[in-house]
Amino acid sequence: MYLLLLVSLVSCSVREEVPFETGMGGIRLELLTDLTATRADAEGQLSPEDFKIEIINPQGVIFKRWDTYAEYLAQESTVFAMNAGGPYTLRASYGDSAASGFNAFFFIGEQEFTVQPQQVTDVSVTCRMGNVKVAVEFGDNIRKQYTEYTATVSTLRGSLVFDKDCKEAGYLPCGDISVYVELTGPDGETSGFTNSKEIAGGPGDFITLKIDTGEVPDSEVSLTVSIDPATNDHQVNIELPSDMLPDKAGADISAIPAGDVWATRVYVDMTTDGDPAELYPEVRAYGASEWSRPSFTSSVSGSVNSVTLTGLEPATRYEIRARYKSAVSSVQEFTTETAQQVENAGFEEWSEWEYRATDGFLGLGAEDQTNYAPYLNEASRWWDCNNSETTPGDRTVSNIDYKSFPMVSYVDGYKSDRAAQMMTIAISNTATSVTAPSPTVGFGRIFTGVYGGELGRPFASRPTRMSFWYKYSPYDSDSFKAYVSVKSGDTVIGEGSLTSSSSVSSWTQVYVDINYTVTDLKADTIYVEFVCGSGKDKWQYGMDIIYGGGLSANVHGGSILAVDDIELMYE
């Protein structure tokens, strides 16, 4: 399946009513689709108007985006101007590259192009299927000899389960493919098999797995693979264990410590008096009737197979057992942690109050100012800031006799009305170099907890990453810092940080990995902090700024950091 996306610049000679400025050109987008017969299962389900379109500048920043082509077409004018030069990149996409399912279509295409001043340029990009399509066919012998049979087809990022009645194909993220086949005979005994050779699944591949046994149940099981059309057709014969009878060796599963249960994974030790490498886990949601073989990795030491199960759902109660061929262990239960998030993660909630600042010493007059706090009221205070270091900390104070200016306020957000803004402030917005030769420098800081009180907030989950969107304007190569720590009591069990001095003018997403050095304790507190600067001498006189949702001021200050849309990830 492929899509043809045409982009053409509108000629100035044709559209004289829209003259381009010097060094500019006009651009207009058109999206076409063409679904071939081999991809007919998507026909009728995909529409050109559903595709996302993005234009990326030479620095790799997306500066023009339409969530759907329909959104672009709905504009009052479909013509817009672009700076001449490049190379720019046009990207069109549909779906999620990490998704798996029977309708998890994913298409993507990219093409570089250059805009010529006052000229017409045509750009086209072909969007092809970016994941791998998989189908399973069970042979006649399996259908005759077994009452139930399933094939679980997996890559590292997803899996599909094909039961005996499944006729349709599904889609997986690209990668090496493993196949697990489970057969149940008329006597109720179940045998499981895993292919010994992984199959490479690339973008656009259509892989058909043909699974069958020999004429008798104890013969080998073979797996035949054909690929169409992105790679040459080829066949892979996979020999699976031929012993389908119950084994005399048993299976056992150790008690699962509380610290070994995370939001999307669990660590389990399994033992057997047979070959521990053949042990594997089976899980099911509590109350469900069917067991399934989950995604897992394992490490064998002596008679113990230590298994890590992944891809679990947060805040879910599970049952787990160990299987050794046809033998199974007793059942144990566990409940995964919640995928908890920080509150006010988009910094939409603020309180603000007015006060009057006068200069009693120099007699330069008075001015009205606003102070800010990143919460609506005390009951909703999840975040706090250090504004009281440069402004009156007491809300009941209406007049002060010293210069002041808030370091923390809000500005327009990444896809929202507000985001937190932190600034380096040396003194107020009216003082000069004459009146303030030796100012006290403060770095805007926002954090979970209470300023001057307890830091951190109650938190019972263990995330593995933190992402946020930010913009940063450093002064004199100053740097900002983002920090996150997870604690159990007074013990820091995991933490991560990011420090950068690079200027970022457009909203950009960044990730902070949280590394856990203590894994046998559950979390009870999380602390997150953002600080806009670090150098006491990195500021300037008379700096124009925008703050407080559109206010302007001239201050003695330095670096400015804006942060929005914090998300904790659990992998």
Of 117, 120, 63, the closest CA to residue 90 belongs to: 63
Is residue 240 in some structural domain?
Answer: no
Q: Does 498 share its domain with 414?
A: yes
Q: How far apart are CA 287 and CA 397, in angstroms?
A: 60
User: In this predicted structure, which of 203-217, 401-415, 542-556 has the lowest mean pLDDT?
Assistant: 203-217
Per-residue pLDDT for 78 more than 50? yes
Mark whether 152 and 63 lie in a shared domain.
no
Domain boundary among 97, 129, 161: 129
Same domain, 392 and 520: yes
Q: What is the mean pLDDT of residues 34-45?
A: 51
Confidence (pLDDT) at 244: 40
How many CA atoms lie within 13 Å of 42's alpha carbon, on the beta-carbon side? 26
One domain, residues 331 and 387 = no
- Which pLDDT band holds residue 116 (cuts at 50, 70, 90)? confident
Judge whether 342 lies within some domain: no
Residue 311 is predicted with a pLDDT of 93
Same domain for 192 and 277? Answer: no
Query: How many residues make up the chain in this entry?
Result: 571
CA distance 446 to 346: 13
The per-residue pLDDT for 231 is 40
Q: How far is CA 387 from CA 256, 410, 421, 445, in A?
A: 46, 13, 12, 8
pLDDT given for residue 41 in this prediction: 58
Domain boundary among 73, 102, 129: 129
14 and 99 part of one domain: yes
CATH number for the domain spanning 277: value is 2.60.40.10
CATH number at residue 219: 2.60.40
The answer, yes or no, to whether residue 273 has pLDDT greater than 50, is yes
Torsion-angle region of 50 (φ positive above 0: left; ψ -120 to 50: alpha; else: beta): alpha
Residue 402 lies in a domain: yes
Residue 360 predicted with pLDDT over 60: no
Domain of residue 554, CATH code: 2.60.120
Per DSSP (E only), the strands in 16-172 are: 24-34, 52-56, 62-66, 80-83, 85-94, 107-115, 122-129, 132-138, 148-155, 158-162, 170-172
Same domain, 179 and 163: yes
Quick one: pLDDT at residue 299? 95
Q: Specify if 306 maps to a domain.
A: yes
173 part of a folded domain: yes
* Higher-scoring residue by pLDDT: 435, 145: 145
Global pTM value: 0.58
Percent of the chain with pLDDT over 70: 82
Q: Give all strands (DSSP E) within 290-440, no chain letters.
A: 296-301, 304-309, 317-324, 327-328, 332-335, 351-358, 366-373, 383-385, 399-400, 408-411, 419-427
Split at pLDDT 50, 70, 90, the class of 203 is confident
CB 213 within 8 A of CB 142: yes
Same domain, 286 and 160: no
pLDDT of residue 365: 60
Residue 246: inside a domain, yes or no? no
State residue 32's pLDDT score.
Answer: 62
- The closest alpha carbon to 407, from 392, 386, 393, belongs to 386
Q: How confident is the model at residue 97 (pLDDT cuts 50, 70, 90)?
A: confident
Residues 412 and 528 in one domain: yes
- Taking residues 304-318, report their average pLDDT: 95
Is 213 in the same domain as 322?
no
- Asked whether residue 113 falls in the same domain as residue 149, the answer is no
The pLDDT tens digits for 313-329 are: 999 999 999 998 778 89
**Which residues touch 16 (CB under 8 Å, ≥6 apart)?**
none
Q: What angle do CA 338, 100, 340 make, to 5 degrees?
A: 15
Q: Could you tell me the residue range of the domain that residue 267 belongs to?
A: 251-335
Q: Identity (one letter) of the amino acid at 554?
A: N
Of the residues 285, 310, 335, the one at which a domain ends: 335
Count structural domains, the chain.
4
C-alpha distances out from residue 267 to 129, 305, 481, 548, Å: 35, 11, 33, 48
Confidence band, pLDDT 50/70/90 cuts, at residue 296: very high
**Residue 341 within any structural domain of the chain:** no
Q: What is the pLDDT of residue 361?
A: 45
Residue 241 lies in a domain: no
More confident residue, 358 or 322: 322
For residues 331 and 467, membership in a common domain is answered with no
**pLDDT (0 to 100) of residue 561:** 98
Q: Which residues contact 140 (CB under 8 A, 6 or more apart)?
A: 212
Asked if pLDDT for residue 243 goes beyond 80, the answer is no
